[in-house]
Amino acid sequence: MKLTWLGHGTFQIVLPDGETLILDPWTNGNPSYPAGFEITRCDTILVTHGHFDHLQDAPPLATKFDSNVVSIYELAAWLRGKGVAKSLEMNKGGTQRVGSVDVTMTHAIHSAGIAQEDGTYVYGGEAAGYVLRFGDGRVIYFAGDTTVFGDMALIAELYKPDLAFLPIGDLYTMGPREAALACKLLKVPVVVPMHFGTFPPLTGRPSTLQALVPDTKIWELTPGVTVDW
Ligand code: NI
Ligand code: MN
């Protein structure tokens, strides 16, 4: 499959047959979105929580590509109200097949209010993560925004991820110190760091994390540069 970091917490996964997943879509206004990169297909969108930097472009992308949009129960209802026809709700511990991928929702420790244009917030359920199990047997854990939590050991035991996407930027999520413990709890060989460097306060860096976990491959991607995995 082909992985492309689209900056901040946004990723594109293209499977060998072209099936395309977009994780936490934030394109317009994302300071680290790769200039000129065009999303040309989008079968499935996964949204971890209701903050704008993970949600903002889900409705327009879903409308343009008639995408499935997976999210937690309350956020799924909100998305339906925004015109998303194929809003697939679920909750933590549950699994559903979306396209060719088995999608399991996991816990995350983070807030999840949905900002409204008038400055108020709508309850968006809870923040979540996802485990993606692909047809070839490989498993990705996409943490969303979270700090480390002890039950990452359960994710390791239940799903045995081959690759994890972990936030490391600090301030709004865990930083490298916490992410290092997450690497150990998840027993995952390869970690793609995310949610860092977008704005100056997101100070965590992959090199800092790598120094703390020499036995884990910290795989730093470049926004807009597609890699094979
Ligand atoms: Ni957030
Ligand atoms: Mn965020």
Angle between helical axes of 73-81 and 58-65 (0-180°, round to 10): 70
pTM of the model: 0.98
CA dihedral for 222, 140, 15, 79, sign (positive or negative): negative
- Measured in angstroms, how far is the CA atom of residue 25 from the centroid of ligand 2? 11
pLDDT confidence of 11, banded at 50, 70, 90? Answer: very high
Which ligand places an atom closest to the C-alpha of 50?
1
The CATH number of residue 96's host domain is 3.60.15.10
Q: What pLDDT score was predicted for residue 148?
A: 98
In a domain, 175, yes or no: yes
Q: What is the pLDDT of residues 150-184, one digit of tens each?
A: 999 999 999 999 999 999 999 999 999 999 999 99
> Which helix or strand (DSSP H or E) is residue 106 part of?
strand 101-107
Residue 24 in any domain: the answer is yes
Partner residues linked to 141 by β-bridges: 131, 164
Distance 221 CA to ligand 1 centre (A): 21
pLDDT of residue 164: 99
Quick check: is 106 in a domain?
Answer: yes
Count: domains in the chain: 1
What single letter denotes the amino acid at residue 117? E
Domain for residue 229, yes or no? no
228 lies in some domain: no
What is the 52 CA–ligand 2 centroid distance (Å)? 8
> What does the block give as tokens for 24?
């936490």
pLDDT value at residue 180: 98
**CB distance 104 to 126 below 8 Å:** no
CA distance 32 to 225: 12
- Structural domain for 85, as ranges: 2-223
Give residue 214's pLDDT.
98
